[in-house]
Amino acid sequence: MITAEKYLGLFEKNIIIAGVEKGLVPSNEVMVPVKDGKLDGTPFGKFLGNRFEHEEVLVIDYYGLIKKSAGFIDKYNSFADEVEVRRLKAHIVHFASIKIEDIVNLDKDLAIDFPGFKKYLVALRGFKK
CA–CA separation, 60 and 92 (whole Å): 6
Q: What is the pLDDT of residue 79?
A: 82
pTM: 0.93
Do 93 and 16 meet the contact criterion of CB atoms below 8 Å apart? Answer: yes
The secondary structure of 30-86 as a DSSP string is: EEEESS--GGGGSHHHHHH-SEE--SS-EEEEETTEEEEEHHHHHHHHHHHTTS---
Residues in CB range of 118: below 8 A, 6 or more apart: none
pLDDT of res. 88: 94
Higher-pLDDT residue of 82 and 42 is: 42
Position with higher pLDDT, 59 vs 78 = 59
pLDDT of residue 129: 58
Least confidently predicted of 8-17, 18-27, 80-89, 97-106: 80-89
What does the mean pLDDT of the chain come to? 93
Q: Average pLDDT of 85-98?
A: 95
47: which residues sit within 8 A by CB, 6+ positions away? 4, 5, 8, 124
pLDDT at 127 over 90: no
